[in-house]
Chain A
């Protein structure tokens, strides 16, 4: 197996973040394989995640569909990518609104909704949403991240 190229990010500080700031976008391309593998690693062997006939007949869906929490996990990644080695994800909430099928591409976007100090910690409230290639929203999420203060380390 070749070495995995990991993502290392420059630390972002609470002091440098403004309300309204955009969080770097993340693209997720879904395939039948990725949908099926996520479901199986999660432990969900429901054929609706890999069998077209089953998805159609049992779930009234045009194709196998991604498990909702796969989209949730992907939406949270935009924040864990951004928070850096000294940040932490404190809360995350997600609502899936449109199913995701093989060959769908999600563009996950985020924005700083609010920033404030709480018990001396820099707290950032973020809005996150996942757009499908046709512009429809697949999930709406929000999360609280704590970021370090300059000079506090």
Chain B
């Protein structure tokens, strides 16, 4: 695997460099959620899980229960009526279940993106794993039972950093979430990091 290129100080394999350049060209582009099927039809894809977009109360309660978060604001209509919200709302971080930020499921990250996407370790032999480094949220209107939340994400930046064990590719996304009335519900900035083992 002798041959490599660089992005700043970071050495890249040709396939990695190619992927990086194609994504860099998309900085500023806005993506809307796609189903897995839609996403697979495209080589450069943005894919959201988005199960919570239809925010019915059952789903809100399920989310809170999974988190063992039994705040009466999410469960008890009487209690919530006498709150600043005037009724039941979803926990603010419920928005994770609508859209947890920009993901980067190019074929080599298939393991992260659920069933149906094939591993391409032949193409990216140095790829190791991915984690969500940082997630930043702003909350505006609350999510209420019966809301439909839509979202779109902008690719804000993509860059490499050299770590001790890994070469790290940061993908920065900015997501905006709105309810069915068009009201701003939340904004998210997140940066998943893709780790590739060092070449040498």
Please report A residues at the B interface, Cβ cutoff 8 Å: 4-8, 28, 34, 37-38, 41-48, 54, 58-61, 67-70, 72-74, 76-77, 80-81, 85-96, 99, 148
Contacts and interface: CB of A to CB of B under 8 A. Distances in A.
Contact of B70 (A5, A28, A59, A89): A5
Nearest to A61: B129
Interface of B: 49-51, 62-63, 65-73, 75-76, 79-80, 82-85, 91-93, 96-97, 100, 111-115, 128-129, 131-139
B68 A28 contact: yes
Nearest to A141: B135
Contact of B93 (A46, A48, A76): A76
Given A42-B96, A77-B69, A95-B134, A85 B111 contact: no
A96 B49 CA distance: 20
B134 A76 contact: no
A68 B134 CA distance: 9
Given A6-B76, A94-B135, A47 B69 contact: no
B131 A96 contact: yes
A34 B62 CA distance: 13
Given A76-B91, A94-B135, A86 B84 contact: yes
Contact of A69 (B62, B83, B96): B96
A152 to B, nearest CB: 11
B92 A6 contact: no
B84 A85 contact: yes
Contacts of A48: 111-112, 129
A46 B72 contact: no
6 contacts: A37-B66, A43-B49, A46-B111, A58-B129, A69-B135, A93-B137
